[in-house]
Structure 1
C-alpha cells in the first residue's frame, strides 16, 4: 500500500497516544513479552511512522516488558535456491565468494517491513546469532530469549521461539496474515522433529575469518499456517481488535503452539503432508 492510499483510508493522523490505547484495548499489558509482526501500511497514516509504532509498543509493555521481532535476512543463503528473483547460475560462485558475512549490527532485514528494520537499529536492541532467521529483542528478557539459536535448527526446541514459549510470551499480529506467523515454525519442529531437511549455505565470521559454510535446514510447510490460523481465529485464546485501521490479533504463544502440534501430528495430517 502506498502512502497516498494510507492517507486516503485514514480519518486523521494516528498518534502514539491513540496507538497505545488501541494496544491496551486489544489486551497488551505492562510487563508482557510480545512477539510482534507488523504491517505499517495497514495501520494507516501514522505521525512518525515506524518509530511511533515502536514507541507505542514500548510504552504499552513498559520497562518490565520485552518486545521481540523477526529479523530475517534471507539473502544470506545459497544463491542456487533463490527464486524471488532467481539469479543466473553463472553468478553463483561469485556470490558465494563475495557475500558479506552475517553481522548482527550491520546485516539488514529482508522482507520484514519498515518497523522490523527500524527496530533492528533501535538503541539497546539485541539480535540473535543466526545469519538467515534471527530475532531482535529489547527488554529485561531479551538476552535470555536470544541466547540460543542453533545453526541447523533455528526454530526448534532450543530456539528463541521456544524460549518465548517458556516465558509465556504473547504473539501480536498487526495487520499481518497467518502465512507470516513466525511462531508457528516452532509447532512445525515439535510436530515433526525428524522431518525432511534441505541443503543450504551461508556466510559467517568464525575465528576472525570470513567463511562460507554449508547447513542443512528443516523444510517448512507454511501452506498449513492459514488453515490452522482459521481454527485459532475462532478460539477463545485469541483476541481480535484494531491497531489504527489494521485488523490485529493477540494470543498466547505456548497454548497456540500446543494446539498446532496436536493438529499437525494427527495421522490424517501427516498423510496429507506426504502427498
Structure 2
C-alpha cells in the first residue's frame, strides 16, 4: 500500500488513542498476555508509523499484562537451503564463517514486519536467545516468557510459544491471516505427524564470546495454516473476536484453543 493509498483508506489518521480504542472494542484487556502478528500497511495511514502501533499495544495491555512478538532473523538459517532467492553454492561456506554472531539486543529482524522490528528496541523489552526464531516480550511476565528459549525445537515446548500457551494467552492477528500465526508451529511439534528434521549451525554470543552452536528443528510448513485457521473459526466462532483496528481486519483468538484444535487438525489432514 502506497502512502497515498494509506491516506485514502481511512477517514482520519490512526493515533495511539484511536488504536487503543479499537483494541479495547475488539476485546483486548489490561493485564492480558497477547502474542501479536501485525501488518503496519494494513492499518491505513498511521501517525508516526510502527512506533504508534507499539505504543498503542503497550497502552492496551498495560504493564500488568505481557506483549509478545516474533522477532525472527532468518539470515541466521542454513544458507544451503535458502530458495527465495538461493545464493551461489560457493558463497555458502563464506556466509556460515563470516556472518557476525547473533545478538538479541542488536540483530535486526527479517521478514516479520516493521512493528516487531520497532518493538524489539524498546526499553524493558526482552528478546530470546534463539538465533533464527527469537521472540521479544514486554510487561509483567516478559523476562520469564523469553528466558531459556531452547536452541533445539525452537518453536516447540521450550519456546516462548509454549510459555504463552501455559499462561492462557491470546493471539492478535492485526491485519494478517492465520498464515502468519506462529502458534500453529507449536501445534506441529505436538501433533503425531512425521516431519523431517534438519540441523542448522549459527554463531551466538555466550559469555561475551562468539560460539558456534548446532541446533535441530523439524521442517515446519505454514502452507496450510490459512486453511486450518478458517476451519478453526468455523468451529469456534463464538470465541473468536473480530473487528477493525484502524483500517485493518483484526482477530483476537485464544491461543490454547487454537493450538489444541490445530494438533487434531494436523493429525487428520497431514
Find the aligned partners of 1:199 and 1:66 in 2 and give their Cα distance: 32
SS of corresponding position for 1:14: coil
Q: RMSD of the alignment, in Å? A: 1.4
Residues 193 and 266 of structure 2 are in contact (CA less than 8 Å); yes or no, is this contact kept in structure 1?
no
Q: Give the deviation of 1:206 after TM superposition.
A: 3.5
Deviation at 1:207, TM superposition (A): 5.1
List aligned pairs for 1:99-110, cutoff 5 A: 99-110=99-110
Structure 1 runs of 4+ aligned residues shifted over 3 Å read 192-195, 206-209, 211-214
Is this contact kept in 2: 1:97–1:212, CA < 8 A?
Answer: no
Q: C-alpha separation between the residues in 1 aligned to 2:32 and 2:207?
A: 37
**Which whole-Å deviations, capped at 9, do the CAs of 1:34-53 have from their partners, x for residues lacking one?**
10011011001011211111
Stretches of structure 1 lacking an aligned partner (at least 5 in a row):
none
Which residues in structure 2 correspond to 1:75-224 (within 5 Å)?
A: 75-192=75-192, 195-206=195-206, 208-224=208-224
> If the length of structure 1 is used for normalisation, what is the TM-score?
0.93
Determine if contact 1:191/1:262 at 8 Å carries over to the other structure: yes
- Kindly indicate whether the alpha-carbon contact (under 8 Å) linking 1:19 and 1:243 is maintained by their aligned counterparts in 2: yes
CA displacement at 1:179 relative to structure 2: 1.1
Deviates more, 1:151-160 or 1:165-174: 151-160
CA deviations over 1:207-232 (Å, ceiling 9, x no partner): 54323343321111212211110112
CA distance in 2, matches of 1:137, 1:115: 13
3-state DSSP of counterpart to 2:134: strand
The runs of 5 or more residues in structure 2 that have no matched partner are none
Q: How far apart in 1 are the matches of 2:124 and 2:184? A: 27
**Counterpart contact for 1:232–1:238, Cα < 8 Å:** no
Whole-angstrom distance in 2 between the partners of 1:71 and 1:161 = 12
How far apart, CA to CA, are the structure 2 residues paired with 1:256 and 1:98?
A: 40
Bigger drift between 27-36 and 142-151 goes to 142-151
Query: Using the alignment, how far apart are the partners of 1:94 and 1:10 within structure 2?
Result: 47
- Provide the rounded CA distance (Å) in 1 between the counterparts of 2:19 and 2:231: 28
1:11 match: 11
TM-score normalized by the length of structure 2: 0.95
